[in-house]
Every structure is written in structure tokens, then in C-alpha cells.
Structure 1
Amino acid sequence: MTALATPSALASRPARSPHLLRWLIRLHRPALLSWIAFVLVVGGLLLWVGGPLTDASAEAWKQYRACGADGCAYDAGAIGRYKDWYNYTTITVVAAPFLVAAWSGAALVSRELESGTAQLAWTQAVSPARWLAAKLAVPAVLIAVGSGLLAGLHHWAWSTGQGRIDTVKGWHDLGTYAANGTATAAMALAGLAGGVLWGLHKRNSLGALVGSLASTGFLWSVVAIATPHLWPTVTTVSSLKHSVPAGSGIIVDQGLVTSTGRHLSGHLCGSDTNEQCRIRYEKLDAVGYYNDYHPQSHYWPLQLTATAIILAVTAALTVAAFRLLKRHTGSAPARKAAAV
């Protein structure tokens, strides 16, 4: 029986990067092929949604708008197919970071620590830090390219329906907003880093899987809640003769404006042409509506700010993973990692 050397015992050996890269690709080939297939299939569906399905739905809406009082025939099925497949692909793109987190937590690190594969790699002229760097860098490139491509295709598929399909989702729709921008690709990288950190912490596949999914969901939720507050809002004031305040987009706050200029959040009733609403407004000394919101021109400032925050969190998770690995492996001479 020959004891496997530990990381500290091999720190002076030169690392062979091409060998490490080949080993990583061979070890995670099923995941690599699955990710490529996922990107190709979802990308193809998005091309279908933004092309033939959008054209068919737009034509059906054109027929519908041409209908007179007596009615006419139009392709309702085309409208429904576009709506359904747009929703399916949107959910899939938004779910990509969770798929990455699940794989990263369950297989990328924790499984190798459980089986001893990681310790074996550390005996092959690869230090723990270099091993972890490769485990993060190689998937990060593929994940960034794949998720970025899907977000770009989704944005294109959504934009082709603008002005042509009456029921096309608004830019501020929660799913559309998330799937259309760079924050989704950044979240996928955060899922990768979070999964690795949980894998190093739990060192068992199930625990790391649950932890990585939970942390990704938590981060996504925090970003969604914080997004409306990441950029200064636009405020519009409008007449009480309208049923709702003017201005559409991501609404942060809206309510009533008093004669002194004070803003009363909420208290919306409807147009003051309604007697009950008029009496209510008079009691509150309301003279108009106000609406604090983000118009469509704020889309990219919000997206890029959220992306920067997510990438900062990803960097922090990565640093934490390296520190945790160092704490686990240490620099002392070593103990037996395995035997063959």
C-alpha cells in the first residue's frame, strides 16, 4: 500500500495545466454535454418563438383588429401558442442559474471530496488552490457564454413582438425583465460560486445541493426586491380625473398630492368623477396623483447595477471558497489522504 501524498508535500511540483484541463473535461463530460444541449435546445426554441411563432401571432392579431361588428375568423391558436411558448422559454431561462447551482453544489466539488477524487488530484502535481481555480474557471466561461447567449436570444424574441402582438409582455414583467438582461448570466455565475462554497462546507452532495439552491434563491429574491431602489425614480403628477396615476413601468410608490404639495402614499380610489372618490379626496385635501416609477429608459441602468452587485457577491463567494479550502487543507505536513 502506498500512501497518497498530501497537498503540502507536493507544493513544489510543477502543475501541468493542460493535463488538469483534460482531466476536468473528462470527469465532468456528462454535465458539459448536458449544458451544451440545454443551451442549443432553449436557444432553438427562442429562435422559433421570436421568428415563426411571433409572425403567426402578429398576423392573427392583425386579423382580429380588422374584425368588424359582425365578427370574423382569426387564428386564435397562433396567439395561444406564442403566449404559451414565450412563457415556457422565459421560465427556462430564469431557471438556468438554479440548474447551475444544483450541479455545482451536488457534483462539482462535494462529490469529489466525498469520493476522494479531489485528494487524488492533489497528488498529481496540482495544489488545492490550483485545483479549485480550474474547477471554477472552466465552468465559469461556459456558463457565462451559454447563459449570456440565452438572455440575448430571449431579449431578441421578446422585442420582435413589440408593436405587433397586443398581449406581448411589458419590459417590466417580472419574468421578462429577469430573462432579458445580463443579471441572469451574473446570477448563473453566482450559483456556480455558491455551489462550490456549499460543496466545500458540507462535503456531501445532498447538503450542498440544498444549500446552493437555497442561497441562489435567496440572492435572486433579494436582488428582485432591491432592484426598484437601485436607480433614481421618475415622478409624474397627474389629474384626479383619471382613474389611475399617469406613468407605466416599475412602480416604486404612488398616491395623492395635497394642495400643500405633500405626498400621501396610497389612498387611491379612482377618478374624482365618482362621487365617493371625490368626497374622499376632498377630505384628504388631494389635488392630484403622483407616481414614482422607472420608465423603460431605466431598464439598462437597473440591469447593469443589479449585475454589478451580483458579480460582487460572486467574487465574495469565490474568495470565501478559497479561504475555506485553505482552512481545510492547511499548509502543515501531511496526513494520509488516501491509500492505493
Structure 2
Amino acid sequence: MSWLTWRQFRVPALVGVAALALLTAYVVHLGLDVRDAEDAYRAQCAGRSDCPRLAQLAVDYENTSLYLAALLAPVPGLLGMFWGAPLVARELEAGTQRLVWNQSVTRRRWLAVKLTVVGLAAMAVTGVAAALVTWAMSPVDRFADNRFSTVLFGARNLAPVAYAVFAVVLGVLIGLVVRRTVPAMAVTALVFVVVQFLVPNLVRPHLLPAEHVTLPMTASAINQARGLGGITGAPVVKGLTLPDAWITDVSELRTRDGTALDRAIFDRCFTDPPRTGAAEGPFGDTATCLADHDLHVDVAYQPVGRYWSVQWLESGCYLLLAGLLAAVAFRRVQRRPS
């Protein structure tokens, strides 16, 4: 049964190996280039242990790191779409599963072998790709303050492997339900994208209890933010940062007694602030006007030291969900008429 599954799967597997070989060649070259740049910056510091020039490494390779992560991010979904979804749907569509089921092989063993062979292959391909990307960008990650960003977090270390397992099992279950290859592939891609959007935004920030801090919103602090105001016109500050922390939630601007800033005051400062002539920064007189009201925000954050804990917890959630989907698939394949 394992040999038959491998013969049916060998063409997609060879395509995956070829794509992995191309990625390996590029990533190894990139990783060596990053290390050459790191050595060059260290040489400029004349052997000092604290080399401020190394911070420039994160700036130089920021876009490259994001592009590389964006290249790896869809891999688990593609494996679920092209490896997982057709695995069972193609057999059900053509009726070829009856040949196996009428022999000595049970339905559950048939499904278990298919899931094992393709699941392990997906783990191997994604694991190698994630390990290469993590190795190549590790010098950059040491000096960049964005390890928890949605794109980078999902392209490093353990998480991509768990995503791949989930995607393949999801594709197999959807193929078992839909029983048509192309619709199963489309539904798998859609569901995986939705899950990948929901988890970083709704689940990951709450995997561990957040730490909390109050930040005074001085004119300088406001000018360091990336934006002011929400879509609904709420008095919010966007894009605040904390050293060595991932900010998961920021309250509205609050006055000294803890109440939310009146929107009329916010709108007035935003659209028609008093002209001081001395304001500096991207928000200028608006920042000065808001700071005059003695404002602060309450911030929830995860310390960067929890990175590996979050990696393990999120990976565990995906693997648990994959296990539940596999259990549903085994139950369905046993009960479903051929």
C-alpha cells in the first residue's frame, strides 16, 4: 500500500524537490551574502563587542527578509491545495478507490497510509525550506525588532511545518467531502487563507497572558507613531513601538482620569490645531495640541523573550487542529458508502 501511494505521489513529490532545490540555491547564496555584510560591519568596529554598525544590517536586508518570508508563506497552503486536496478527491472522482477497498486493505488503512506518506513529505519540504530561510536571515533577525510580525513569524522555525501538516490534512478532508478535485483544491485554498488571517490577529496575541503598560502621549511620542485616527474617527494612535516587545493592543487616547478623549477635541486638534510655529515631526501642531491634554494610552504587549513559547503554542494548536480533522476524515471514510 505504501509503495502504491508513493507511485501515485511521485510526480508531485519530484516537483516539490525541484522547487526546493531552486530555493536552496538562492537562499544559501543570500545567507552567505548576509554573513559577508555582517563581517564587513564588524570589521568597521575594530573588534568591539558592541558594534552599533550592525544595526544597519537589519535596514539593508529588511525588504529582502520580507520578500523571502512572503515567498515561503504560501508554501503550506500550496501543498494542501496541490498535494492534500487531490489525494483522495482524485480517487473518489475516478472511482479507483474501489479497487483497493475490494482487496485486503481497509478504508482506514488506505487513508492512513496516504496521509502518512504525503504528510511526511510536506513536513520535510516545508521544514527544510523554513530551516534555510531561518538560517539565512538569522543575522538580520538578531538586530531587527519584528520577530512577531505576521509575515516573518510564519516563515521561521517551527510554525511553517505545523501549517503544512494542517493544510495537507485539511485538503484531504475537503477532498473526501467534496469528492471533486478542482473544487476541493479551491475550497482548501480559501479555508487555509481564512485560517491564516484569523490566527495571527485573533489567536496568537492571546496564546499567553499579555503584559500591560501605560505610555504617556507627549508630542514626541505622538510624532513617533505611524498614524492617528481610525476608520471610524476614533481617537487612536497607530504604530506605537516598545523595545523588545510585540504590541498586541493599544487603547484609545485617554485623559488623566482614564476616560477616552472626547472625539470633538481630537477632531479639532487633528483638523485645526493652534498654530505654534515651533512644532516638529510628522504630526506637527496636531501632536502639540493633543499633548496639551495630558493624554496616555494603555498598551498590551508580549515580551520578545516569549517568542519560542508562542512558536510552540501556535504550532501545537495547528497540529491539534490537524489531528481533529484527521479524526473526522477517518470517521467519514469508514461510514461513507463507496
What is the TM-score when the length of structure 1 is the normalising length? 0.73
For structure 1, which segment, 127-136 or 39-48, has the greater mean C-alpha deviation from structure 2 after superposition? 39-48
2:85–2:174 Cα contact (<8 Å) kept: no
**Partners in 1 of 2:286 and 2:80 — Cα distance?**
53
Aligned to 1:233: 210
CA shift, 1:149, in A, is 2.4
Match for residue 107 of structure 1 among 66, 82, 86: 86
Instruction: Answer yes or no: is the 8 Å Cα contact 1:42–1:150 preserved in 2.
Output: yes
What's the offset of the Cα at 1:199? 0.9
Alpha-carbon distance, 1:211 to partner: 1.2
> 1:55 Cα shift?
3.6
Is residue 2:112 matched to residue 1:133?
yes
Q: Which moved more, 1:307-316 or 1:294-303?
A: 294-303
Task: Using the TM superposition, give the Cα deviation of residue 305 of structure 1 relative to its aligned residue in structure 2, in angstroms.
Answer: 1.6
* 1:110–1:205 contact (8 Å) kept in structure 2: yes
Q: Write out per-residue CA displacement over residues 61-91 of structure 1, whole angstroms, 9 at most, x where no aligned residue.
A: 78999xxxxxxxxxxxxx98x5665444322
* Shift in Å, 1:59: 7.0
- The correspondence for 1:300, drawn from 300, 308, 312, is 308
Task: Provide the C-alpha distance between the structure 1 equivalents of 2:195 and 2:285, rounded to a whole number of angstroms.
Answer: 46
1:185 aligns with 2:161: yes
Q: How far apart are residue 57 of structure 1 and its match? A: 4.7
Q: Which residue of 2 aligns with 1:173?
A: 149
Structure 1 CA distance for aligned equivalents of residues 321 and 288 of structure 2:
49
Q: Given the superposition, is the C-alpha separation of residues 281 and 85 from structure 1 closer, same or farther in structure 2, using an over 3 Å criterion?
A: closer
**Which whole-Å deviations, capped at 9, do the CAs of 1:35-60 have from their partners, x for residues lacking one?**
222333323322222212x1455578
Equivalent residues of 2:86, 2:172 under 8 A apart: no
For 1:22-41, list aligned pairs within 5 A: 22-41=3-22
Q: Which residue of 2 aligns with 1:6?
A: none
Partner of 1:250: 246
CA distance in 2, matches of 1:184, 1:48: 22
* Contact residue 45 and residue 89 of structure 1 kept, 8 A: no
Residue 233 of structure 1: how far off its partner (Å): 1.9
Q: Which of 106-115 and 132-141 deviates more?
A: 106-115
Equivalent in the alignment of 2:76: 97
Deviation at 1:276, TM superposition (A): 4.9
CA distance change for structure 1 residues 46 and 309 in 2, over 3 Å: closer, same or farther?
Answer: same
Contact 2:211 2:300 in 1 (8 A): yes
Q: How far does the alpha carbon of each residue in 1:303-337 deviate from its partner, in whole angstroms, 9 at most, with x for none?
A: 222111111111111111111112213xxxxxxx7
Q: After superposing the two structures, state which structure 1 stretch, 191-200 or 242-251, moved more.
A: 242-251
Distance in 2 (alpha carbons) for counterparts of 1:173 and 1:57: 24
Gaps of 5+ in 2: 46-58, 223-239, 271-278
CA contact (8 A) 2:175 2:181 kept: yes
Q: How does 1:194-205 map to 2 (within 5 A)?
A: 194-205=170-181
Unpaired stretches in structure 1, ≥5 consecutive residues? 1-19, 66-78, 330-336
Alignment partners' CA distance in 2, 1:156 and 1:131: 38
Aligned mates of 1:265, 1:292 — CA distance in 2: 22
Partner of 2:3, secondary structure, is: helix
Percentage of matched positions with identical amino acids: 24
**Residue 159 in structure 1 maps to residue 135 in structure 2:** no
Paired letter, 2:242:
G
In the superposition, the TM-score normalised over structure 2's length comes to: 0.74
1:1-340 to structure 2, matched below 5 A, reads: 20-52=1-33, 54-55=34-35, 57-58=37-38, 85-162=64-141, 170-226=146-202, 227-241=204-218, 242-244=220-222, 247-248=242-243, 249-255=245-251, 256=253, 258-260=255-257, 276-283=286-293, 286=295, 288-329=296-337
Aligned equivalents of 2:262 and 2:120: distance in 1? Answer: 46
Between 1 and 2, higher relative CO (CA 8 Å, sep ≥ 6) is seen in 1
Q: Which amino acid aligns with 2:153?
A: Y
Bigger Rg, which one: 1
SS in 2 for 1:161: helix
Match of 1:334 in 2: none
- Per-residue displacement from partner, 1:267-291 (whole Å, max 9, x unpaired)? 79899996654553554x53x4443
Root-mean-square deviation (CA, aligned residues, Å) is 3.4
